[in-house]
A and B are shown apart, each in its own frame.
Chain A
Amino acid sequence: AQSVTQLGSHVSVSEGALVLLRCNYSSSVPPYLFWYVQYPNQGLQLLLKYTSAATLVKGINGFEAEFKKSETSFHLTKPSAHMSDAAEYFCAVSLIRGNKLVFGAGTILRVKS
């Protein structure tokens, strides 16, 4: 069965600093990987997805993630944090089209001014 581990339930960065949110997955077959963002009292918005094309995936709002099969990782990065990036970020994995998403526990990103 697939699973997702997000290291760090809370990450705090200064405005303008690098954002790095870690995600490791476990899957018996090549996975589809996703990062979603959840702002307070809102639903889940897709940031980016990996579906076996390019290993470096660019998403919305300047975020990107790199799929590293050897490390079973899909870490999310952004070169320069903005106050509006403060939210909770979820990494998720699924195996095939129509398959359930398995979510990590989430990482709350705080951006300090």
Chain B
Amino acid sequence: EPEVTQTPSHQVTQMGQEVILRCVPISNHLYFYWYRQILGQKVEFLVSFYNNEISEKSEIFDDQFSVERPDGSNFTLKIRSTKLEDSAMYFCASSGHHPQDNEQFFGPGTRLTVL
């Protein structure tokens, strides 16, 4: 069964450093998303991406964040200068191309720890 994959599973970085979180969505899916979950809190939407551009972003997704689909298979989230409060689990998701299909498939997540 096709699945969304994410690498790395755990990333530790120093405050101020840049990190890139990688995702491989399900092939032939058209919509891609990043969410984050700070420990003990709810899952929060960061950004959605369709047709090679951002379709929606939340207030959390400020100038330090960017997304890219560099090669038609990977979908990346870059955090330019990490802060302590960026420590969280980051989930990538994708959804399909059928008009009635709104189900988002989630990857296993990347746990980001900023020291």
Residues of A within 8 A of B (CB): 32, 34, 36, 42-46, 49, 51, 90, 92, 94, 96-106
Contacts and interface: CB of A to CB of B under 8 A. Distances in A.
16 contacts: A32-B102, A34-B103, A34-B104, A42-B109, A44-B106, A46-B104, A92-B43, A98-B102, A99-B56, A100-B33, A100-B45, A100-B48, A101-B45, A101-B93, A105-B42, A106-B42
The dominant DSSP class at the B interface is strand
Interface residues of B, number: 28
Contacts of B35: 101
A102 B45 contact: yes
A60 B12 CA distance: 35
A13 B43 CA distance: 25
Contacts of A100: 33, 45, 48, 56, 58
B91 A90 contact: no
Contacts of A90: 42-43
Contact of A98 (B44, B48, B58): B48
A104 B42 contact: yes
Contact of B103 (A49, A103, A105): A49
B91 A44 contact: yes
Nearest to B98: A97
A100 B55 CA distance: 10
Contacts of B44: 103
